Structure 1
Amino acid sequence: MYVFDSLPVGAAFGAQELHLSDALMRRWASLYPDDAADGRMPAGMIAVASMRAYSDLVAPRPPGNVHGSQRYEMLRRPALGERLTTTIACACKEVKRDRRWVHFDTETVGEDGTPCFRGRMIVLWAA
């Protein structure tokens, strides 16, 4: 289990692939029917790629972590059918007012290696 003291700052946890398939887009459209169907990934789906990578790669985690904040930088909107790869790394960790905060950086690239978006997630680490 990744406890605060054992989280490796600067180390990558691996990579996760996400295929922007027709099936995935249908599921998204069933939840968000007002998103334009323009042949590109809706901007709101950035969180899907990032959170899947976090959930699958930064594991096991202690119960009780709290998602503090998240921000993204959109570089380009990937085309439907594209396969994306998201990497996640521990950028830094700090203790503020007796609380353990962990900063994770994500980067998602297209199948040709071109960056699509980057993000920073800050998590209140439970143990």
Structure 2
Amino acid sequence: MDNQLFHRVLLAEDNLFNQKVAITMLKKLGLTEVDIANNGLEVLDKLAIATYHLILMDCEMPVMDGYEVTKRIRLNELTHQRHIPIIAMTAHSFPEDRVRCLETGMDDYITKPFKLDILQEVLTRWKLI
């Protein structure tokens, strides 16, 4: 993709390898404004100082997991912020895992490892590409 898009993405992922893979894929899709949070507390810190158009949220992170931070984001949105799409990223692929993500307040769900075409499909659905 030649044109770069000016959507800011927050990648919440504690694994360095997974961070690099996701950033490479996002760049291939034209999304170059990507910040990284290594845990849920870092997600909240970054949201306090920057505006994001999408969060790619690992469900299992140290300090505060993706489920808890999503609940806090959604609670905060009730009074302070616009809705930020949160896409769950998890290695768990059972139907109940997807249900848990959606019931927690996440908007969409992809299983790791994911391929470029799956990420592209999700980003298209959320109008980021």
**Shared topology, TM-score over 0.5?**
no
Higher relative CO (Cα under 8 Å, sequence separation at least 6) belongs to 1
| More strand by percentage | 1
Q: Report the structure, 1 or 2, having the larger helix content.
A: 2
* Structure 2 length-normalised TM: 0.24
